[in-house]
Amino acid sequence: MASALRQRSARRAVLGTLTGLVLALSGVLAVPASSDDVPGVDEIVKSPNMKHLANLPKQGDFGAVNAYGTDLVFKDRYAVTGNYNGFTVYDIGRPARPKIVSQVSCVGAQNDVSIAGNLLFLSTDAARSDDSCQSAPGKVADASSWEGIKIFDISDVRNPRYVKSVETQCGSHTHTLVPGKGRDRGSVYVYVSSYLLGPGSVGPDCQYPFDQISIVKVPLKAPTSAAVVATPVLFPDGGNPGGGDTSYPTTGCHDITAYPKLNLAAGACMGDGALFDISDPAKPEVITVVRDTANFAFWHSATFNARGDKVVFTDELGGGAGATCNPVVGPNKGANAIYDIVGKGSERKLVFRSYYKISRTNADTENCVAHNGSLIPVKGRDIMVQAWYQGGISVWDFTDSRRPKEIGFFERGPLSTTQSILGGSWSAYYYNGYIYSSDIQKGFDVLDITDRRTDKGKRVRLDLLNVQTQPDYFD
């Protein structure tokens, strides 16, 4: 999420500036929607096949407006949500009655989360005075400031224990886990994504051009030995220089999704979408790169279909803070783009097929744009659930790459009709038969979709789900 940079000072610029820049680049301005088209403040609207089972509001220090709820990860009967102030562990053994098990205070945007074994990984993408959970804001130009990956032992989910930190260049905006292979099976590789928003270098460890990721190797039984083992440059030619109607220059990746079973990863890298060969987890290689200078402003995230022959890329137009779900912006900007993967081996290409964007008009005070989602595991179909910030949650089918269609939705009305407040669903994921959402302001939501097109997904059970490390659901 580009809007996570609200706390980022010089490196990421002020969020309002970012939003204005992106909207200016795309030649669009959010305009007030008709009041007849938009639900009332906090009013819930949904399709008949969606049921809202539960909501747990943000608690304690995590309840402030600027304590944004972020990403989600699942293990066994637990869900963990990130928050700018730390992370929360929920017991979802009874999905309609989730309970908070523990809450760990550890300030550091964005605090994206993932799990491997008994280890939880937390991203810090804001300069801090040190690597502790009690750190104060630091200065990005100060070499002594810290940002990167924090590692917690969650063997006891009621008392997570901080065990190790690894500093990474330009911090860790997001991260992706790639399991080791062969003799390395006891390790996990952490692909750390971060980026610069412009050509200016920021501090001694974040120099322009920044077309690389940091790879941290973590022995699962000896996490205190975790260390950066590679910093591959993914775009040696500099990547997309920016320009066109919307396109940002490529100066790093926002997010990478791995599909380990297929030795593939898809990178959403600001101005570029990329497909990587990750046969050697420590040495990812670019297979092919695509651009969309007409409609995509900021390549944000990626999702493979189950067969691994399609990728859905998202465009976070407006940095997650803009009101882009309206007729003026239109259906092709701030949307998903569906690409087929054609060819074999090193000759594979990404071929554009269509865009998908929710059709519901949002108010001019509602941040709404394509964001994080996951597959609903229905064999023979390509269906996913996806967060759209204050645009709510959409369940949609892209089995026909050229004709995607929505099959269910859940949405709240705006947080306010008079002022813009950052909110809505950051991540909406499907896990063991239910949809779980981390809402920036409203907290933790649980939903159930009952539909002949998705019901078979309820049969698929997992012990672990890091959405950015896609499992083979049908193995």
What pLDDT, in 10s, does the model give residues 112-130?
999 999 999 999 999 999 9
CA distance 361 to 16: 22
Q: Which residue has the tokens 């050229």?
A: 402
CA distance 399 to 310: 10
For residues 163-184, give the mean pLDDT: 96
Task: Give residue limits of the domains in the chain.
Answer: 2-465
Instruction: Give the count of beta carbons closer than 10 Å to the beta carbon of residue 179.
Output: 16
Give the H or E element holding residue 409.
Answer: strand 405-412
- Say which CATH topology domain 2-465 has: Methylamine Dehydrogenase; Chain H (2.130.10)
CA distance 70 to 256: 17
> Are 87 and 443 within 8 A, CB to CB?
no
pLDDT of residue 456: 98
> Are 418 and 365 within 8 A, CB to CB?
yes
Q: What is the pTM of this model?
A: 0.94
CA distance 98 to 59: 14
pLDDT of residue 203: 79
228 DSSP 8-state letter: E
Higher per-residue pLDDT: 201 or 223 = 223
pLDDT of residue 248: 86
What confidence tens digit (pLDDT) does each residue in 415-436 have? 999 999 999 999 999 999 999 9
CA distance 365 to 390: 9
- Going across the sheet that includes 299-304, the strands are 299-304, 310-315, 336-342, 349-356
CA distance 301 to 299: 6
> Are 66 and 84 within 8 A, CB to CB?
yes
Count Cβ atoms within 10 A of the Cβ of residue 182 and give its class: 0-12 exposed, 13-18 middle, 19 or more buried. exposed
CA distance 216 to 315: 27
What confidence tens digit (pLDDT) does each residue in 65-98 have? 999 999 999 999 999 999 999 999 999 999 999 9
Structure tokens, 51? 């049921």
Higher per-residue pLDDT: 410 or 29 = 410
Give the H or E element holding residue 52.
Answer: strand 50-56
The pLDDT confidence band at residue 245, using thresholds 50, 70 and 90, is low
Question: At a CB cut-off of 8 Å and minimum separation 6, what does 211 contact?
Answer: 233, 234, 235, 236, 238, 239, 250, 251, 252
C-alpha distances in Å from residue 370, one per residue of 9, 82, 172, 388, 390: 25, 19, 21, 5, 10
pLDDT of residue 28: 38
CA distance 449 to 253: 33
What confidence tens digit (pLDDT) does each residue in 438-452 have? 999 999 999 999 999
347 DSSP 8-state letter: G
pLDDT of residue 246: 65
CA distance 271 to 436: 30
For residues 263-292, give the mean pLDDT: 97
Question: Please, how many CA atoms are within 13 Å of residue 435, restricted to the half-sphere of its CB?
Answer: 33
Instruction: Give the count of beta carbons closer than 10 Å to the beta carbon of residue 387.
Output: 27
> Are 120 and 150 within 8 A, CB to CB?
no
> Are 137 and 128 within 8 A, CB to CB?
yes
Cis peptide bond N-terminal to 209, omega within 30: yes
- Going across the sheet that includes 146-153, the strands are 110-116, 119-128, 146-153, 161-167
The pLDDT confidence band at residue 105, using thresholds 50, 70 and 90, is very high
CA distance 275 to 71: 23
26 DSSP 8-state letter: H
The pLDDT confidence band at residue 247, using thresholds 50, 70 and 90, is confident
Q: What is the mean pLDDT of the chain?
A: 92
pLDDT of residue 398: 98
Three-state DSSP at 225 gives: helix
Percent of the chain with pLDDT over 70: 91
